[in-house]
Amino acid sequence: MPFNISSFKENGLVYGGARPSLFNVFMSVPGGIGIDSVSVDKFRFVCRATEMPASDVGAVDIPYFGRRIKVAGDRNFSSWSVAVMNDEDFAVRSMFETWSNALNRMVSNVRDANLSSEEYKTDLEIVQYGKDGTTLRSYQLIGAFPTNVGSIGLSWDQQNAIEEFSVNFEYDYWVPGVESSDKKAGGVNTYGPQTDQDGVNGPS
C-alpha cells in the first residue's frame, strides 16, 4: 500500500520530531574587548532566533577531452546570524556595539592597538534540546566575531511589540559538539573518524 499512516508513525517521526523552539545559544567572553560577563550571560536569554550552521564543499572542474570532470574541492562555512530582543538597559546591544567598535573604530577607522585576533574572537555553541530537556545535538562555532550589528526599527504605530535587531557573525569553522549516544539522537557518528585534528571531539 503506497500510503499507510501506521507505517509512517512507526518509521518516520518516531519521537514526535525535533522542535525549533527548544534551543539555546551560549557565548564565551572575548579576551581583549572589555565585555562584562553579565551581558554575555544575558545574551542567551534574549537570543530569540537563529539557525544551525551550514557549510558546503566546492567542486573543482577538470577539463578532459572536451568534457569536465568534477572532484571535491574545499569546504566553505556560511555566515551565521541571530535575532536578539532588546531590553531597556540596552546591555546586549551595547555589548555588540562595543565589540564591533573594537574591531574597527567608527571614527578613526582603525582597530584597537595590540588587539590580536585571538583576543577579539570567541567560541559560540548552539544547543538543540529534546522535549524532555536532554541535549540532542550541539554545534560549536570556533573563532567567531560580529561583522554586522543590525538596525532597530522604530514606529509610532507599532504596539505590543519588543524591539529586535540582528547580528551577523563570521567564524573560522564549526564542529559538532555533544552528540547523544542513545537511539533517540541517532546514536551513530555521521561525521567520519572522530579525530582531534578534524575537531569532531570539540576543542581541546
Per residue in 149-159, pLDDT tens?
999 999 999 99
Q: State residue 91's pLDDT score.
A: 96
For residue 176, is it within any domain?
yes
Distance CA 48, CA 34 (A): 25
Domain at 32, CATH number: 2.30.110
Task: Name the 3-class secondary structure at 147.
Answer: strand
CA–centroid distance for 190 within its chain:
19
Structural domain tally of the chain?
Answer: 1
pLDDT at 51: 97
Evaluate whether residue 116 is within a structural domain.
yes
In degrees rounded to 5, what are phi and psi of residue 70?
Answer: -105, 130
129 within some domain: yes
pLDDT, the chain, mean: 86
* Residue 107: Cβ within 10 Å count: 6
Report how far residue 74's alpha carbon sits from residue 56's, in angstroms, rounded to the nearest whole number: 8
Cα four-point dihedral sign 44, 83, 106, 123: positive
- Cα R_g (the chain), whole angstroms: 21
Q: For residue 76, tell me if it sits in a domain.
A: yes
* Cβ neighbours of residue 173 closer than 8 Å, sequence gap 6 or more: 75, 77, 142, 143, 199
What is the number of residues in the chain?
A: 204
Domain membership of residue 9 (yes or no) is: no
**pLDDT of 167 over the 70 cut:** yes
* 14 is a domain residue: no
Give the integer Cα–Cα distance in Å for 167 and 148.
6
Q: How confident is the model at residue 196 (pLDDT cuts 50, 70, 90)?
A: very low
Phi, psi of 102 (to 5 degrees): -70, -30
- Confirm whether 203 is domain-assigned: no
* 96 close to 40: Cβ distance less than 8 angstroms: no
Place 95 in a pLDDT band, splitting at 50, 70 and 90: very high
Task: Give the structural domain span for 61.
Answer: 21-185
d(CA 64, CA 195): 36
Share of the chain above pLDDT 90, in %: 65
Query: CA 204, CA 191: separation in Å to the nearest integer?
Result: 18
- Residue 15 domain flag: no
Q: What pLDDT is attached to residue 178?
A: 60
